Amino acid sequence: MSQSQLEGFIFAISCCPDSHIGNSWQHQVLPKVQLQDASSVSCQLIGILDDLFSHTQQQVLDLTYQLPINCIPDANAISNFLPSSSFHQWSLGFMRGYLLTYELWRSFLTAEDHQDFSTAVFILGFFADQTIAEEVCQENNLGNFTKFCLLLLTKIPEAIDTVNRFSLDLHHAITAIEAPSASRNR
């Protein structure tokens, strides 16, 4: 996983409370590292991932998360689909993380919220796969592909804000649900 892909992945999973995501995501990032491995290198890598997760999650909760500077999309919309594009990599990572948390989101979102959230996820994941993006454009008669890509690029900050907002709501809802059961267990 590239750094940009990791940043997109971490953003997606940090939108969910740790009590529901746990540390199962670490294996997605470090598939060859045994999470129980006590070697200093493994411990350092896991520590770095945990720090990045915590930092990103705090940005989400503070509603301050923004696309990392190294992942800013290129003005040439089509070049954002190239494997060498940092934004393409971020988008791939975001979708991978989102798919890992999909069931939690599905159970949380109301019917009214579903459309707004799905639109934001669509925008943030659009540049992950050009073939799928072109098919979606064609199937939905969205017009000129390049123009549609340019339009979506302008919507990225708004999509991140939408995901941030829903994430904050999810955190509050889960905290409210877990608080009574935590006090009963004391």
Q: Let me know if 109 is exposed, middle or buried by CB neighbors in 10 A (0-12, 13-18, 19+).
A: middle
State the Cα–Cα distance between residues 113 and 63, nearest whole angstrom.
18
pLDDT at 27 over 80: no
Give per-residue pLDDT as tens, 157-182: 999 999 999 888 888 887 787 766 65
Give per-residue pLDDT as tens, 102-160: 888 888 888 888 889 999 999 999 999 999 999 999 898 888 899 999 999 999 999 99
3-184 CATH? 1.20.120
- The model carries a pTM of 0.86
pLDDT at 54 over 90: no
| Extents of the domains making up the chain | 3-184
How many C-alpha atoms does 45 have within 13 Å on its Cβ side? Answer: 17
State the Cα–Cα distance between residues 147 and 31, nearest whole angstrom.
38
How many C-alpha atoms does 105 have within 13 Å on its Cβ side? Answer: 24
